[in-house]
Amino acid sequence: MKTYRHFINGQYVDSTSGEWIESIDPFSGEVWARAPKGNEEDVNLAVAAAKAAFENSDWTDLSASARGKLMRKLGDLVADNADRLAALEVKDNGKLFSEMKAQMVYHPEWWYYFGGLADKIEGSIVPIDKKDAFSYTMYEPLGVVAAITAWNSPLLFIAWKCAPALAAGNTVVVKPSEFTSASSLEYASLVKEAGFPDGVFNVISGYGADVGASLVSHPDVSKITFTGSDLSGQKIYESAAKNIKHVSLELGGKSPNIVFEDADLDMAAKGAVAGIFGATGQTCVAGSRLLVQESIHDEFMERLLDLAKSARLGNPMDSGTHIGPVTTPQQYQKVLSYIDIAKQEGAELVFGGSACKVPGADANQFVEPTIFTNVSNDMRIAQEEIFGPVLSVLKFKDEEEAIKIGNDVVYGLAAGVWTKDIRRAMRFTKALKAGTVWVNTYRAFSYMMPFGGMKRSGLGRESGIAAIRDYLQVKSVWLSTATEMPNPFILR
Ligand code: NAD
């Protein structure tokens, strides 16, 4: 069994608790690794290292261009290790190797993009309205950033959070999910190899309620960047408010994927499948509410069912597998419980709906891809995030009803629209209350495109130029050229 350690101040170290959390392969059920069960003492050590590094000239004296070079070096190292890191992710989260490999091959782009941006963070000279004054703004890092991540794509979240955070000159403490700590702990060695000064990048593992909560409340942490559920996000936001910390929250979703009668129905059916069965539905942007126009409902469902029937469940390491296991036993139970809820609510089960056995999958965490029709928008399966391969299909009459149903949910992370009518597409991109709207595609991402949620899906944006502003604060500087101080009792 592989043993991982915390990575603090450039060194791998044991947890002060001497306790461990076991990593279980979601496919085989094998306990294949263990990671430290961190505690408050470990948090104090990691934050102290990050704080010292933030004040140390090894980091503060580096020019922004030099920071960018380190980041590009790290991107190259990730590219060289893409296969190994992707396989590690699969061992922990059970997602398809083909998907995790594609993520790891693309992952360096965040380091290249934000590495290139590091020396283009410019303040401005303000054409100030006061006599004898010269005024300008400058952008400064925030300090120690705590990056708390979810289990579905741990390393991608490191890139999304740490690339802009380090480009801006902050230092970081990463806390991966207790279910998937191995890859983030392993990744730390590449950061060291790239040449980042000790303490700039730290990783500690442990449970959210102790390590996560201690990080969030630590007085020397200036910003929390979080990916996870809206309930955890709410607790983090409340705790961070006590010390007025900066917070970015990437939370859950219940995204509408809307198919109009004029769409290319074959493409739309593939888009629906990509939206809900990709990553076994364990993706924040899952198109879990499929809105289909009444006039094409039955015809579209036939195409969708044909595609769903072709999905192969199997070992996530096999290139022929389409759907892997659910990542954790808890999540597996949750998905099955929502299938029961849907049946009780009166939705019509037209495909799947059960746990299933897959040869070699001794963890027993497979759920059939599942489709419910006749779902109404007030049902729990239309409103609550399931985070699994369960699709709710709702009918709509016209544009007005599609927008009403599409927006009638507490979340606002993403939405899809399938139509050949460019005017309709433009009306919908404006009307849908979601951080990302895809037209005639789904689950497309880029390091250049801001990503984040509206409403209960979160605060702040990751990727794109906008992301770096979330890791900076603006300082206003006034220089006076006057030779005399005017009346000191009056505001200048
Ligand atoms: P989670 O909220 O249970 O856990 C996420 C992380 O937060 C873990 O590291 C956990 O240990 C930590 N944590 C939990 N409680 C905490 C607390 N009180 N204080 C500090 N840290 C705490 O989420 P999960 O089950 O790991 O992930 C699934 C959720 O993440 C889904 O809701 C999904 O939609 C969301 N998600 C969002 C995005 C996005 O970019 N918007 C991406 C992926 C996943």
* Tens of pLDDT, residues 370-413: 999 999 999 999 999 999 999 999 999 999 999 999 999 999 99
User: CB of 150 closer than 6 A to ligand 1?
Assistant: yes
Count of residues making up the chain: 492
The residue contributing the CA closest to ligand 1 atom 38 is 284
Of the chain, the end-to-end C-alpha distance in Å amounts to 68
- pLDDT above 90 as % of the chain: 98
CATH 3.40.605.10 domain span(s) along the chain: 2-251+457-476
* CB 137 within 8 Å of CB 163: no
Confidence bin at 47 (pLDDT 50/70/90): very high
The CATH class of 256-439 is alpha beta
Interhelix angle 97-106/108-117, rounded to 10 degrees, is 20
Spell 427-460 as b/e; 16+ CB within 10 A means b: ebeebbbbbbbbbeebbeeebeeebbbbbbbbbb
Stretch 272-297: mean pLDDT: 97
Question: How far is the centre of ligand 1, averaged over its atoms, from the C-alpha of 228 (Å)?
Answer: 2
How far CA 339 is from CA of 128, 348, 370, in Å, comes to: 62, 11, 8
Tokens of 9: 């101040």
CATH 3.40.309.10 domain span(s) along the chain: 256-439
Report which ligand 1 atom has the smallest distance to the Cα of 233.
Answer: 2
User: CB of 206 closer than 6 A to ligand 1?
Assistant: no
pLDDT for 65 equals 98
Question: How far is the centre of ligand 1, averaged over its atoms, from the C-alpha of 229 (Å)?
Answer: 4
pLDDT for 492 equals 80
Report which ligand 1 atom has the smallest distance to the Cα of 453.
Answer: 41
* CB 175 within 8 Å of CB 215: yes
By three-state DSSP, how is residue 294 classified?
Answer: helix
User: CB of 46 closer than 6 A to ligand 1?
Assistant: no
Question: How far is the centre of ligand 1, averaged over its atoms, from the C-alpha of 269 (Å)?
Answer: 30
The residue contributing the CA closest to ligand 1 atom 39 is 250
CATH fold of 2-251+457-476, please?
Aldehyde Dehydrogenase; Chain A, domain 1 (3.40.605)
* CB 94 within 8 Å of CB 360: no
Question: How far is the centre of ligand 1, averaged over its atoms, from the C-alpha of 235 (Å)?
Answer: 11
Confidence bin at 82 (pLDDT 50/70/90): very high
| Non-local CB neighbours of 391 within 8 Å, separated by 6+ positions | 272, 276, 277, 288, 290, 369, 370, 371, 372
Q: In what order do the strands lie in the sheet with 31-36?
A: 2-3, 31-36, 20-24
The residue contributing the CA closest to ligand 1 atom 30 is 228
Residue 491 has pLDDT above 90, yes or no: no
Secondary structure element (H or E) that encloses residue 31, with its range: strand 31-36
Separation between Cα atoms, residue 136 and residue 91, nearest integer Å: 51
Backbone angles phi, psi at 226, to 5 degrees: -125, 140
The residue contributing the CA closest to ligand 1 atom 34 is 252
With CA atoms as reference, report the closest residue to 56 among 9, 99, 12: 9
Strand 348-351 versus strand 370-373 pairing type: antiparallel
Secondary structure element (H or E) that encloses residue 472, with its range: strand 472-480
Mutate-to-test residue for ligand 1 from 21, 148, 153, 285, highest number of ligand atoms within 8 A of CB: 148
Residue 99 has pLDDT above 90, yes or no: yes
Secondary structure element (H or E) that encloses residue 256, with its range: strand 256-259
Question: How far is the centre of ligand 1, averaged over its atoms, from the C-alpha of 249 (Å)?
Answer: 10
Amino acid identity at 341? I
Amino acid identity at 189? S
pLDDT for 442 equals 97
Question: What are the catalytic residues?
Answer: 250, 284
pLDDT for 486 equals 85
Amino acid identity at 343? K
Separation between Cα atoms, residue 349 and residue 336, nearest integer Å: 13
| Non-local CB neighbours of 135 within 8 Å, separated by 6+ positions | 125, 126, 128, 476, 477, 478, 479
User: CB of 228 closer than 6 A to ligand 1?
Assistant: yes
Separation between Cα atoms, residue 254 and residue 284, nearest integer Å: 8
User: CB of 255 closer than 6 A to ligand 1?
Assistant: no
